[in-house]
Chains A and B, each alone.
Chain A
Amino acid sequence: MAKNSIKALLVATLSLFMILFCNICTAQEITALPTEHHTTEKKEEKLDPAKIIMDHIKDSHEFHFFSIGSFNASIPLPVIIYSPANGFTEFSSSKFGEDGDVIYNGYGLDENKQIYSSDGAKVYDFSITKNVVQMFIALALLVWIMTSVAGKYKTGQGLTKAPAGLQNAIEPIITFVRDDVARPNLGKKADKYLPYLLTVFFFILINNLVGLFPGSANVTGNTAFTAVLGVISLVVILFSTNRHFWGHIFWPPGVPFLVKLILIPIELAGVLLIKPAALIIRLFANMVAGHIIILSFIVLIFIFGAMATVAGYGFSPLSVAFAVFIYCIEILVAFIQAFIFANLTAVFIGQSLEGGDHGEGNGHDDPIIA
């Protein structure tokens, strides 16, 4: 019996070795020489789905809506560059040419669409890019909605009379953030933090929703945007800490001494690094994943179309149906991610206010006290 199993094992090992490491000659075709490849490259570009999706997700110096053949419907945005050698320069990004390969005033776009200086100098890019324009639009929308609603309250509509119009939509959301996010986590100090929590909730929500429109920019699915929000949340959390809190970080109660030593760096990293990083990456990854899924369904039409034009047309209804389904989920995710960001910020602020593990009613398991 043992001899049989050893024999089987040896046969298996030898087979694996022979498959993987012994050389077999196969016939290979010679691919086209590089020089010929480049001249024909311009007209017959192979469809690159990953590049198309990435271009739609990333920030860019122009607002590109669609292209029909060689006509590009896009709005070029201003490029504002500071370099220590040349000071501030402003020009329209259309100066970079149709394919982005023109070098203007010594500045050009590299393959990552980043601006570089042709003499290698350090370039600080302050341009109004797609994301910046969309953030301004979202900001204008938010300020307009909020000030008009607040103005109505000043005239008594909604206080002495029943709320009307937009108040009916905004008031439940604001009371939701106040009663289910701020008050349970922050207790008596909720009203101090309510402006920040409401701002962060509504700003993320409106950028999420505007980013869902076809042709708009992917603002929240951008680590720059979420990192700034995460850092601001971290600053608010650190400002609300007290000695009690840091005492519990550096001397965790209720565990043996050796476990305390292990816990101290973990708790410290948790507060300063891991919790803000989780906030940042959670929002970024959720939004960018949703956008990638929608874009993939649309690009699938073109992939099928590249195989056979009929297949492309035939597949489009299915693809659009899937995309609409994912859109519904994405609207839900937009609300949920805004709520989660605000809620977790409130939870972490609540933890710093109470001083760590045994505050009242902040959602942690209470230790069993006999």
Chain B
Amino acid sequence: MSLLNILLDASLANAGGAIGAGLAAIGAGIGIGLIGKGAAESVARQPEAANDIRGNMILTAAFVEGVALFAVIAGLLAVLKA
């Protein structure tokens, strides 16, 4: 058995799915972090608008999280469908 055989035998799909989900988590973390940064800075500039900004922040964060979870589902399918 060569190393390549062992690598392929140990189900590259499982590794691919897990790495994909991890990358998605990085993307979601960066995206939502940027949203939070923008929201915090905006509230600091104009505290009266805090409620509107909070609503926008949660809505946009849900979009970003939705996309990240598409990738998680794709990773899960890669692992489960072998």
Contact = CB atoms under 8 A, between A and B. Distances in A.
A21 to B, nearest CB: 6
B19 interface: no
A323 to B, nearest CB: 20
A98 to B, nearest CB: 26
Residue picked from B2, B59, B66, B73, most chain A C-beta under 10 Å: B66
B4 interface: yes
A130 B13 CA distance: 32
Given A180-B55, A285-B72, A20 B66 contact: no
Contact of A21 (B2, B59, B72): B2
B70 to A, nearest CB: 6
B32 interface: no
B65 A286 contact: yes
A56 interface: no
Chain A facing B: main interface SS: helix
Contacts of B66: 278, 281-282, 285-286
Contacts of A344: 62
Given A180-B55, A289-B69, A282 B1 contact: no
Interface string A149-182: 0000000000000000000000000000000100
Interface in A22-58: 22-24, 26
Chain B facing A: main interface SS: helix
B62 A23 contact: no
A21 B55 CA distance: 56
B10 interface: no
B30 interface: no
Contacts of A23: 1-2
A285 B4 contact: no
Given A23-B2, A24-B1, A26-B1, A339 B73 contact: no
A28 to B, nearest CB: 8
A316 interface: no
Interface string B1-27: 111100000000000000000000000
A343 interface: yes
B50 interface: no
Contacts of A26: 1
Interface string B52-77: 00010011001001100110110000
Contacts, number: 41
Interface in A180-199: 180
A85 interface: no
**Interface bin, chain B:** 10 to 19
A20 B4 contact: yes
A212 to B, nearest CB: 18
Nearest to B69: A285
A368 interface: no
A21 B73 contact: no
Given A180-B55, A343-B59, A281 B70 contact: yes
B65 to A, nearest CB: 7
Nearest to B59: A343
B15 to A, nearest CB: 15
Interface string A87-126: 0000000000000000000000000000000000000000
A36 to B, nearest CB: 24
Contacts of B3: 19-20
22 contacts: A19-B3, A20-B3, A20-B4, A21-B2, A21-B4, A22-B2, A23-B2, A24-B1, A24-B2, A26-B1, A278-B66, A281-B66, A281-B69, A282-B62, A282-B66, A282-B69, A285-B73, A286-B66, A289-B72, A336-B62, A337-B62, A339-B58
